[in-house]
Structure 1
C-alpha cells in the first residue's frame, strides 16, 4: 500500500473529484456485470468480476467511495432487473469491499475470516428475519428448492442411483423443518467462502497490476496534495532546497538521478538540462513530491500539485493534459467553483487569442502545448515546471513557447523550472543546471562514430513498395465537425528508398503515416503495399510512433521485443540479436521499460519492429525528445540499416535537420497538400 492510500484512508470530508470519478465508473461497471449475470443464462460466473471491482475501489479509496459506487450501481440495476439485481449489487459490494478494506490495511486471512463471519451473521440474520415474517416468500423458496432436489433425484434414478436421490430428498425434508438453522449456516458459510474467493482474486490482480504498472509515478499524498497532516499546512512549494538528493527506481541497478543539490527560489527561472537518461524527469518528480532515495528536500509547506497557488506541470505530450472539448473549458478544468480566471488574458499571453470557443481536437501540436501552459497558469502556481515542452513542436510553435517562457517569471509570481535537453532553449533562464555530470555509470548503449558516414546509399530496386494514388482523408465526415487533413496525395516509395515527409504541426503528417502503415483507411484514393491495399496488410509496413512509450506494451524489454517481433520471449538469442541490431546490449532484455530513457525506448521499439523484417519502416517524428547525441546515434543507426540491409525508410517530421542527410528525397506537406518534391538522390 502506498503512502497515498494510507493517508486517504484516514481523511474525512466529502468525496473529492477523483474519488467521485472512480466511484461512478466502478458503480456503472458493476451494474453492467450484475445485469448480464442476472439476465443472461449461464453468465453467473461474471459475478466474480462484480466482487473484484468494489474490492479494488475499497483497496484504493475511502469507504464512502464504495458506498457511492454501490448506490449508483444499485439504482441502475434495480431499475432494470428489480430486487434480485439490487441484492446482487449489495452482496458484491459487501464481499468485495471487505476484502479490499482488509488488504488495504495490511491485514491477513485471519482478520478476513473473522470479519467475513461477522458479515455472514448479519446477512444471515437479515434473511432469516425476512423469511420468518414473509410466509409466502418462504413457501415459494421451499417450492423452488424442493423442485430442484426432485429433479436431481430423478436424474440419479436415471443413472441407476435411486438410493442416493431418495437420501437427498429425505435430508432436504428434515432440513426444511429446521429451515432457520439451515439457512443461517448456509449464508454464514457462503459469506466466508465468497470473501476468500474475492481475497484470492484481488490478491492476484493486485500482484499483476504492480508488475505491469510499478510504483514509479507514486507521490506521497502527505507531501503534495494537502491531505492528512499537510491538510493543515499552507501550500508553499517554494523556496525548495534539494540537498544531496539521489533517486533509484525499485529494482533498478543504478540511480536514475545522481547526486543533486540545488535551490529554487520564488520568482526564479531555472533551466535543467542534460542528456537523455540523465534524470531530468526524475528530478521533476522529486520536485513535485516524490521522496528521494537519499538526501533531503526542504520546502516551507505543501507542494499543492494542481491546486491554486501550488505546483503546476506542463508535460512533453500536451494531449495527455488536454481534457476539455473546448479551449475555454480546458483552461478552467478542475478549478474550484467560483474561481475567477481571466481566460482571454491567459490565451492572449500564450498566443491563442480568439481560440476560446474552438474545439481542442482541432488544435495542432504547438497549439495544444500552449493551451496546456495556459491551463497551468490558470492555477496561479507558485512553482511551474515545464518538462520538454518544445520537443514535439515545430519551429514556429517552439519559438512562441520559448518567448512565453522567457518572460513568464516577470508576468507571474511563479518560479519556473524549465527541463530541456536543448541548451538553446535554456538560454533565457536565470541559471542553468546540467545533470549530465551527475550520471554515475557509463551509458549502456554501444557507442557509434561521431560523424555520419559519407559512403553512398544503396541503390533502390525501382520496385514500388508504397504507392499513394489520390489519397485524401477527412475526420468526422458528414458532421458539423468534419475536418479535411489530406488532399490528393500522390507519390511512390521504392524498395531501398529513404523519403522525408516534412511539414509543420497540423499539416497531416501523422495521418499520412497511419495511412501508409495500413492503420487508417483513406477517405478518398488508395494506398497500396506491393499493389494491394495497405489496410489488408497491416504489419507489412512498420510504424514507429512519435511517442515511443505509447507503443511499449510489456513491462520488460526482452518481453516487449519478443512480443512485437512475434517470437518466444524464451528465445534469448533472437532477443539479443534484435537488441544488438539497434545498438543495445543484450543485458537490456532484463530491464523494465520504465527504467529506460526516451532514446532507449525508441530503440527498443525499433528492435521489435525490425525483427519482423517489414517491407518498410515509417518513423513519426523520430528525433523528437532526443538530445543531440541521441539524435546522432539514431540517424547513424537508420543509415546503417538502410545501407547494410536495404531497409526502406519513410521519416515524418516537422524538423528536417539531420534527417535530410539520410533521406535523399524530401516531400513537403502543407495543410494536407504536397507542395514540392526534391528528387535529388545522392549516390544514385
Structure 2
C-alpha cells in the first residue's frame, strides 16, 4: 500500500509528529521575526522566516501551518509587539502560498493568480475597515493630504518642477474622492509585489531543500488511518529484500531473508554500512526496493500495539520537560498508562517529577524506553541505544532490554556492535553488507589513571579550572572543580568519566569554546578562548558537524581553503585513509565511519595545535575502530599530533592514549570510580 503524503491524509486534529514540527518551525519563525524587529537594520532577515513556514505548507496540512502561525505570532507579539506579529503573519502568508503551490506541482502563473486574489481580498478588507472606522479614515486621509501638500510646496520652490505642484494637488484630491478604488488597487499591487518577490526567493530555497533526499525518515503507514485496520507488525517474514537509496549505485541492504516471531529477542549485528539502520527502517514501515515483507497486519509506527523505535542519541528523543510528561507525550487522548509502574520498570522509580534536562544519558535512554512501552508495542526496535552512554548507563539499559520479552507480549530487535549485548538475545542476525568484517566490538577494563606526560613542550595548560553553568543565578550548576593538568606536544590523553562528570564541558574549555568560571586554560601560554580554531574538536555526533552538501565542500570549508583546490581536498582525504574520489559524494551517502573521517580530514587540514575527539568510537564496528585508531596513532607518532580523547570505550586506545585522566563529579580522580566498571 502506498503511503499518503502527510499534507493530504485526512485526520482530525494534529498528530504528535505534526505538533512537534509546528512547534519547532514556529520557534524558528518567531526568533527570526523578533531579531528582524528588535535589531537595527535587520529587517531584511525576516525573509528567513518564510523558509520554515514554506516547508510546513509543502509537507503538511494547512492546519499545521495555522498552528505554527498562532504559536509564532503569540511569541513574537509578546516580545516584539505588533511589528513581530505582522512579520510572522507575512512569513506565514508567503511561506504558505509558496509551499501550497509547490506541493500541488504548479508554477509562477498559479502563484501570481493567487497573489492577485489575496491582494484583492486585502484591499476589500481595507475598504470595509475604513468605511466602518470613519474617524481613522479621516485621520489617515488628513495625514496623507498634509504630506502631499508639503511635497507640492517643495516642488513650487524648484524652478524646473514648479509646474507639477498644482496637478499633484488636483490628482490627489480626485484619488481621495474615489478612495475605495485606490485602496483596492494599492492592495492588489502591494500584496502581489511582495508575494512574487517572496515566491522568487523562497521557491529556489525550497527547491534546494527538497532536493536533499530524506533517506532516514520514519513515517507511519497510511493504512493505520483506517479505523478498521488491524495493527500487527509481527510475525513478519522478509523474503529476498533489497533496498537502494535514491541516487546510489549499490544496494544498502540485501538480498536478505529472515523471519521475526512474536515474543522473540533478536540481535542485529554487522559492520558499518552493512545495512543495519536500513533494516530498522523497513521493519518500521519503509517499503523495500525489491523483495517482499509479509506481516500479520499494519506496522502501526507509534500507535498503540504497533511498532516503537528507540534511537541512538538520547537527547533527540526527549520532548517533555518533566519525566512523567515525556512518558505519555503523543499518546491518544483516550489512552491510559501507569507512568509510575513504567518508570519503575526502567529503573527511574520516583523520578516522575524530575526535569528531563537533569537526567544523564543513560537515564534519558531508559526514559525513551518507558515512552515506547507506554504504547504497549508488539515490536520494539532499539538502534544502537548504548553507544552514547557510559558503562553504568549501559548496564542499566541492558538489564531493562534483556527482560522486556519476558514481561511484555512483544518482540525486540536490538541493533548493536557489542558482543555481550548480542549474547543476551535469543538469536543473532549478522548482516555482512559489502565487507568481510564480522568482528564484534570487545570490552575491556577501565585503564588506570597515569600522571606521566609526553616529553614535548607544553601545549595546553589548565590551572585551577572550574566552571559553573548559570553562574550567579538560583539555577547555578557546577560542572568542573579545580582541574589542573598539562598536555604536552605529541601527548595522547584519554579522559574518562560517567555521563554528567564534566567531560564535554572540559573539552569545550580546552577548545576555547567556553570560558571557565575561574582558573586558566592556556594554549602556548595565552588564553585558548582567544585562539578559537587552534584546538580542533570533533563532536560525538559526526553528522551534526558536517554542514555542507558534499565531501569536498565540507573539507574545504572546515580547512579554510576553496573547494576548487582539488589537490588540497584530495590530500586531506588521503591523510585520513579515504579515496579522493569521495570528494564529489553527498554527505548523506557516507557511512558513520566515513563521516567521522571526513570531519577529521577537515580539522587536520587546518594543522591544529591539538585535536580533541569526543566519543570517536561510538557507533563504529570493530574494523572501523581499528582503522581509525591506527590512523590517529600514526599521526601522533609521525607528525607529533597532540590528541585528547573523551571516550567510554577503552579497547585499543592504549597505543593512542598512553595517559589517562578520570573525572568524577567534575573533579580529577586518582582511581577509576566504582561506577565506571569494566568495559
Q: What is the distance in 2 between the residues matched to 1:511 and 1:403?
A: 29
Q: What is the distance in 1 between the residues matched to 2:47 and 2:500?
A: 46
TM-score (norm 1): 0.86
Question: Shift in Å at residue 576 of structure 1?
Answer: 0.8
Please say which of residues 601-610 and 189-198 is displaced more in the overlay. 189-198
Which residue number in structure 1 is paired with residue 521 of structure 2?
527
Which residue number in structure 2 is paired with residue 454 of structure 1?
none
Question: Shift in Å at residue 632 of structure 1?
Answer: 0.6
Q: What is the distance in 2 between the residues matched to 1:627 and 1:40?
A: 48
Q: Does 1:60 align with 2:59?
A: yes
Which residue number in structure 1 is paired with residue 283 of structure 2?
287
Which residue number in structure 2 is paired with residue 593 of structure 1?
587
Extract unaligned runs of 5+ from structure 1: 444-458, 679-684
Which residue number in structure 1 is paired with residue 656 of structure 2?
662
User: CA offsets, 1:334-364, max 9 Å, x none?
Assistant: 3334643333433333333444444433333
What aligned pairs does 1:252-651 form with structure 2 within 5 A after superposition? 252-337=248-333, 339-436=335-432, 438-439=433-434, 462-479=456-473, 481-651=475-645
Cα distance 1:620–1:8, how it changes in 2: closer, same or farther (>3 A)? same
Please say which of residues 113-122 and 103-112 is displaced more in the overlay. 113-122
Question: Shift in Å at residue 497 of structure 1?
Answer: 1.4
Q: What is the distance in 2 between the residues matched to 1:519 and 1:89?
A: 33
Cα distance 1:502–1:90, how it changes in 2: closer, same or farther (>3 A)? closer
Which residue number in structure 1 is paired with residue 217 of structure 2?
218
Extract unaligned runs of 5+ from structure 2: 438-452, 673-679
Question: Shift in Å at residue 151 of structure 1?
Answer: 4.8
Please say which of residues 150-159 and 286-295 is displaced more in the overlay. 150-159
Question: Shift in Å at residue 547 of structure 1?
Answer: 2.0
Question: Shift in Å at residue 37 of structure 1?
Answer: 7.4
- Conservation of the 8 A alpha-carbon contact between 1:509 and 1:653: no
Question: Shift in Å at residue 40 of structure 1?
Answer: 8.9
Corresponding residue SS for 1:6: coil
Question: Shift in Å at residue 274 of structure 1?
Answer: 0.5
Cα distance 1:209–1:159, how it changes in 2: closer, same or farther (>3 A)? farther
How large is the RMSD of aligned CA atoms in angstroms? 3.4
Question: Shift in Å at residue 135 of structure 1?
Answer: 4.8
Cα distance 1:402–1:71, how it changes in 2: closer, same or farther (>3 A)? closer
Which residue number in structure 1 is paired with residue 5 of structure 2?
6
TM-score (norm 2): 0.86
Q: What is the distance in 2 between the residues matched to 1:42 and 1:536?
A: 29
Q: What is the distance in 1 between the residues matched to 2:26 and 2:513?
A: 34
Q: What is the distance in 2 between the residues matched to 1:158 and 1:395?
A: 84
Question: Shift in Å at residue 389 of structure 1?
Answer: 1.5
Q: What is the distance in 1 between the residues matched to 2:266 and 2:289?
A: 23
User: CA offsets, 1:392-434, max 9 Å, x none?
Assistant: 2333433333333223211111111111123432122222221
Which residue number in structure 2 is paired with residue 102 of structure 1?
101
Cα distance 1:362–1:148, how it changes in 2: closer, same or farther (>3 A)? same
Question: Shift in Å at residue 575 of structure 1?
Answer: 0.9
Number of residue pairs aligned between Structure 1 and Structure 2: 655
Question: Shift in Å at residue 650 of structure 1?
Answer: 1.4
- Conservation of the 8 A alpha-carbon contact between 2:54 and 2:206: no
User: CA offsets, 1:481-533, max 9 Å, x none?
Assistant: 54433333222111111122233333332222222222222233222211222
Please say which of residues 155-164 and 399-408 is displaced more in the overlay. 155-164
Question: Shift in Å at residue 18 of structure 1?
Answer: 4.2
Please say which of residues 187-196 and 252-261 is displaced more in the overlay. 187-196
Q: What is the distance in 2 between the residues matched to 1:62 and 1:114?
A: 21
Question: Shift in Å at residue 563 of structure 1?
Answer: 1.1
Corresponding residue SS for 1:661: coil
- Conservation of the 8 A alpha-carbon contact between 1:223 and 1:303: no
- Conservation of the 8 A alpha-carbon contact between 1:471 and 1:486: yes
- Conservation of the 8 A alpha-carbon contact between 2:540 and 2:616: yes
- Conservation of the 8 A alpha-carbon contact between 1:465 and 1:494: yes
Cα distance 1:346–1:7, how it changes in 2: closer, same or farther (>3 A)? closer
- Conservation of the 8 A alpha-carbon contact between 1:56 and 1:202: no
Q: Does 1:184 align with 2:184?
A: yes
Q: What is the distance in 2 between the residues matched to 1:603 and 1:49?
A: 32
Q: Does 1:236 align with 2:232?
A: yes
